[in-house]
Amino acid sequence: MAAATAARSRSATEVWLLGQPEPNPCWGKQLPKNRQVLRRFFHFVRVQRKSVKEAASLVTAEVAVVWEKVRIPTQKKSRCVGEDLRLYASWQNLDRSKKRSAEVDVENRRSFSLALMTLFDIGHADARFDLITVDEDRQFLLGQRCRMDPWHHARSRPILGRQRATASGARRAKAVELTGALPRLPRASSSGLGAGDEEENGGDDGRDADFVPSAGISAQSACSPKRRRTPIMTPAVAAALDRTRISDSTAVHLFTAVHGADATPARSTVRRHRRSARKKMAKEIKAEMTVNVPAVPLIIHWDGKLVEGMAGEGIAERLPILVSGDGIQKMLMVPKLAAGTGVLTGQAVYDAAKEWDLVDNIIGMCFDTTVSNTGLKEGACVHIMKHVKRKSAPLRLPAPRARASGGRSIHVCFGPFLPAPEIQLFKRFVKWWPLANQASSKPLDDPVDGADKIIATCHALLKEKQPRDDYREMVQLTIIVLGGEVEANIRKPGAYHRARWMAKVIYTLKITLFREEFCAHQARRRGS
């Protein structure tokens, strides 16, 4: 009964991966190891109820006394306490994932168990060379850091008795010094584990003989290099996710289906890698642009667009900004504007040129002739030239003839001032379109002067590459309205706006083609 009670109390106080807390600072014949320091640390935290920082300070003070007895200089106290706290943070991160059985988690626990067997090194960085004058003390420190456990005891000495190492041990220590000392336990990473791969030296006074950190740990496995895992979130994968507009949560589901749940990164990890890949790609593109365009004169272009927001935020004002010249065509950015005013537009254009280091290359500006761009006081051009402190040639884009004639035609038919923002005729045509029969379209009844010449010109334009789909659609509809033939279907009516002259022309051509059927439907609806 007493044995069962003792077993239960012992299991209740046992620390995962470490064993029982260390009530007394018995370090044996060697300098303290990481596992001994952590066990002593947990005694202060769990038994004496000290805070984490207080426990780290107390343990560090005890360890520093041992290092002073062997005349080995140590780091300053704050750094020694930091080493203890980083070791505890590594244990904490592993403790959170101790129920996971993934390969990476098992490997992390194995690596940390090996790191626990290594020296809790608080020695000064120059202790081996400059600060230690006695060669035998230097050899002792090197032996404590050595991974060659079978002959490590031969060079060990009682810390209080000050027994010296044998000559053979010193020769072996010299050989190890030539091969390089062991790396120290690194700082806690995002996965919370150390990279130590040394074996325990056996100086743990026998109280942890019943503790086995992991199965199958040997000198050969401890020295073998850790297999590198193939990363999932590469820059190419991040770029593909952005190109296909896949969210972080959806990407996690895809990775789970392909790689399994154990190898799938968290959503925050996916987001962090995607942001890092975007920043890296942006830096590379800007660096390449700076190298390829040292002193080339460029024209900067901009034109505001109303587009749908990316996160369901409604309609947003976007300003595409491009540069061209000497065979170079490059989009700089598409910033979001709070409003399409001249001041905000000019500031965005100047910021884009400054960010790409192209302010000195700009010799001209290309823009649409709107008040926000050409205003004498608050126009974007004036604002840009104030920042640049020099005049640039403004290359205005005047309103095309089609825009002017199309706008005048709408004003003649519907009046110069329409009360609503929508054109009601176009709105009714959109609602009627699902009932339309493609075969019922009819060209103009009355002949048009020069129709054959116009049709031939339109066919020639279709053979060329058109920069916009709405231009091509307008040319195709013109051929059909004039009685020509073209291999194209009449598309569903799209969006329209009072400021978009092309949409007005396309709607007018489509209504002309379906005029009889559309008018008959409107008459039946009015009669009913």
Give pLDDT tens digits for 322-349. Answer: 998 888 888 898 998 888 888 999 999 9
Give the pLDDT score at 317: 87
Q: Per mean pLDDT, which range of 198-212, 312-326, 384-398 is the poorest?
A: 198-212
Strand 393-397 relative to strand 305-308, pairing: unpaired
Name the token pair of 107.
Answer: 């490997």
Final residue belonging to a domain, choices 348, 367, 398: 398
Is residue 50, in this structure, part of any structural domain at all?
A: yes
517-524 LR contacts (CB < 8 Å, sep 24+): 517/436, 517/437, 517/440, 518/429, 518/432, 518/436, 521/432, 521/435, 522/428, 522/432
The residue to which tokens 């005049």 are assigned: 391
Give the pLDDT score at 320: 92
Cα separation, 528 vs 519, whole angstroms? 14
Q: What is the mean pLDDT of residues 251-279?
A: 85
**Structural domain boundaries, residue 97:** 12-223
Same domain assignment for residues 490 and 509: yes
Report residue 236: phi and psi, to 5°: -65, -40
Q: What is the mean pLDDT of residues 94-99?
A: 86
Same domain assignment for residues 85 and 188: yes
Q: DSSP code of 200? A: P
Is residue 448, in this structure, part of any structural domain at all?
A: yes
CB-CB contact of 524 with 443 (8 Å): no
Same domain assignment for residues 520 and 415: yes
In this prediction, what percent of the chain has a pLDDT beyond 90?
A: 3
DSSP labels, 61-116 = HHHHHHHHHTT--B--HHHHHHHHHHHHHHHHHHHHTTT---HHHHHHHHHHHHHH
3-class SS string, 338-351? CCCCHHHHHHHHHH
The residue to which tokens 């035609």 are assigned: 409
The winner for highest mean pLDDT among 129-133, 291-295, 308-312, 456-460 is 456-460
Same domain assignment for residues 96 and 173: yes
List pLDDT tens digits, range 239-252: 898 888 888 889 88
3-class SS string, 145-184? CCCCHHHHHHHCCCCCCCCCCCHHHHHHHHHHHHHCCCCC
Cα separation, 454 vs 460, whole angstroms? 10
Same domain assignment for residues 214 and 240: no
Give the pLDDT score at 151: 35
Is the pLDDT at 103 greater than 90? The verdict is no
Cα–Cα separations (whole angstroms), residue 85 to 38, 55, 91, 124, 357? 10, 9, 10, 18, 45
CB-CB contact of 485 with 478 (8 Å): no
Q: What is the mean pLDDT of the chain?
A: 75
Q: What is the mean pLDDT of residues 212-227?
A: 43
Is the pLDDT at 472 greater than 90? The verdict is no
Cα separation, 293 vs 362, whole angstroms? 12
Maximal CA-CA distance, the chain: 120
Is residue 197, in this structure, part of any structural domain at all?
A: yes
List pLDDT tens digits, range 23-74: 887 776 678 888 888 888 999 888 888 899 998 999 888 888 888 887 788 8
pTM: 0.41
Final residue belonging to a domain, choices 398, 431, 455: 398
Is the pLDDT at 445 greater than 60? The verdict is yes
The residue to which tokens 């010449």 are assigned: 453
Q: Per mean pLDDT, which range of 452-456, 474-478, 497-501 is the poorest?
A: 497-501
Residues paired with 312 in a beta bridge: none
Is the pLDDT at 277 greater than 60? The verdict is yes
Give the pLDDT score at 119: 86
Report residue 111: phi and psi, to 5°: -65, -40
Report which of 381, 242, 211, 233 is spatially closest to residue 310, judged by C-alpha positions.
Answer: 242
Is residue 228, in this structure, part of any structural domain at all?
A: no
- Considering its fold, how many domains does the chain have in total? 4
Cα separation, 16 vs 116, whole angstroms? 13
Q: What is the mean pLDDT of residues 352-374?
A: 86
Is residue 498, in this structure, part of any structural domain at all?
A: yes
Task: For residue 325, give the H/E element and its range.
Answer: strand 321-325
Same domain assignment for residues 449 and 520: yes
The residue to which tokens 């029969």 are assigned: 437
Cα separation, 267 vs 204, whole angstroms? 42
Same domain assignment for residues 78 and 213: yes
Give the pLDDT score at 345: 92
Sign of CA dihedral 252, 254, 255, 261: positive
Give the pLDDT score at 138: 73
Reported as half-sphere exposure (CB side, CA atoms, 13 A), residue 88 has a value of: 23
166: which residues sit within 8 A by CB, 6+ positions away? 154, 155
Same domain assignment for residues 47 and 176: yes
Cα separation, 240 vs 44, whole angstroms? 51
Is the pLDDT at 386 greater than 80? The verdict is yes
- pLDDT higher at 308 or 31: 31
Same domain assignment for residues 367 and 409: no
Cα separation, 487 vs 404, whole angstroms? 30
Same domain assignment for residues 393 and 414: no
Amino acid 116 reads L
Is the pLDDT at 460 greater than 80? The verdict is yes
Give the CA radius of gyration of the chain. 39
Amino acid 376 reads L
Is the pLDDT at 162 greater than 50? The verdict is no
State the pLDDT confidence band at 10, using cuts at 50, 70 and 90: low
Same domain assignment for residues 409 and 484: yes
Is residue 466, in this structure, part of any structural domain at all?
A: yes
Q: What is the mean pLDDT of residues 347-361?
A: 88
Give the pLDDT score at 321: 93
SS3 328: strand
Give the pLDDT score at 326: 81
Sign of CA dihedral 494, 500, 504, 505: negative
Name the token pair of 454.
Answer: 């116009």
Is residue 167, in this structure, part of any structural domain at all?
A: yes
Name the token pair of 400.
Answer: 């095309």
Final residue belonging to a domain, choices 165, 192, 223: 223
Q: What is the mean pLDDT of residues 201-227?
A: 42
CA angle 15, 18, 20 (to 5 degrees): 60
The winner for highest mean pLDDT among 219-223, 263-267, 352-356 is 352-356
Is residue 4, in this structure, part of any structural domain at all?
A: no
Angular region, 258: left φ>0, alpha ψ -120 to 50, beta rest: alpha
Same domain assignment for residues 218 and 308: no
DSSP labels, 265-322 = PPHHHHHHHHHHHHHHHHHHHHHHHHHH-SS--EEEEE--EEEE-TTS--EEEE--EE
